[in-house]
A and B are shown apart, each in its own frame.
Chain A
Amino acid sequence: MLEHFVFYSLAAVVLLSALAVVTLKNTVHSSLMLGLSLAGVAGLYAALGADFLFAAQIMVYVSGIAVLVMFVVMLLGRASDLHLRQVNEYWVAALAVCGVAGVGLLRLAGARSGTLSAAPAHPATQALGRLFLGEYLLPFELVSLLLLAALLGAVFFTHKESAS
């Protein structure tokens, strides 16, 4: 019962705040709603028993990316933005597309309605650590290389333009 309550409330938070992200006119509000939605997803991870994902979601998304987005919104935002339309004229078509895709995705999900948890959840952090420094060492290192490249790219793009 508690499980149901937790799941549904978290799902409502996630979906409603996501809807707010894509519909609100004020971009600052959108970005705040994004943080809320991401936090909701983190809660769903917790409900799934994925402790490491929960922590990573909080640290990377909620406290990293959402804050970064907010930062950029504030950096680039203008007062005039509040008076401009934030949704373009394709929204009907987009709704139609989402409807069509939604039929397919929901039918796919419906096919799994009988699938219950195969095993009780147990802490995964230690196992994931062994995995990353063992079997998945190469992708792990590659991802770190990717992060380094992204860091350098970000510095390059921003720094060069400010110099000129």
Chain B
Amino acid sequence: MEVRVANVRKEFERFPALHDVSLDIKSGELIALLGPSGSGKTTLLRLIAGLERPTKGKIFFGEEDASQKSIQERNVGFVFQHYALFRHMTVADNIGFGLKVRHGPSRPSAQEIRRRASELLDLVQLSGLEKRYPAQLSGGQRQRVALARAMAIEPAVLLLDEPFGALDAQVRRELRRWLREIHDATGHTTVFVTHDQEEALELADRVVVMSQGSIEQIGTADEIYDTPNSPFVYGFIGESSALPVKVEDGQVWIADRPIGLPAPHAPRGEATLFFRPHDVDLVDECNGCIAGTVAASRRVAGTRRVELEIGGERQRIEIELPVDHPAAQKSRVAFRPRRWKLFPAA
């Protein structure tokens, strides 16, 4: 089901949590809401679910205005970070709950509910655990049960709030791949909230980057990583280094020297230069480059991360070098970013 969030604003006791957010989600899409805590991503998810009511704006499921519907009528599957399983029910009863509480002819027979529960348990790879209680399961297993329970009602949209947040790193990676497989198999429109960018970039069809109650950028992993459209996104996604610079005569300057980066279209004046630490070319002779004194050098997995002090103000930035690169031993290093972006200084 398509989901359309139209100019939604949400205030909690006068404190705005979301400002005028709009978002179109295509049917069958897997969308990640990514942002630091307090960015409003969970609020947006809860608004879609109907667990909160928007202060202004509307939310459409397909053509229907869902903001007028109660939570029960919206038919969404919601999965919480801490599972929120019903402790006093077996795994099978948990999964069947959404079907059992239906009224009249839409309620399947007890036998049908049982069949459906064990089918879903097969799907989440927990066959044979029907009779267990949640207390007898591991964290990863509980989250799978929570997902199966959400899927049992054939939801219009599946909403996951930091679904892997409470799990350890290995289980997390495993479940991430598994969620992608399930999504490909079932095709539910899915929105999940995360503050883990690796999770968002790896898993989602499109990533929605949020900050301070607004959407900063919406795009595929490639778009978000390669062409960030704001200093926030550049800084938040992946590693980045930032330097204060000046634009003059179609050139980028640091202090009183041009650094060999042409910027014919950038407006004149103060700006901030962003680049990725690994995306740099070392140069031997510095005529038009960024040069700095090595302040620290650390080995990080497959690369060496070198911290440089640039210019008179001793601005610190990081670049990454191959482990065996001789430059890491030198006291001065000169480089030029291969790919970079300028944002006018705020």
Q: Does B associate with A? A: no
Mark B residues whose CB is within 8 Å of A. Answer: none
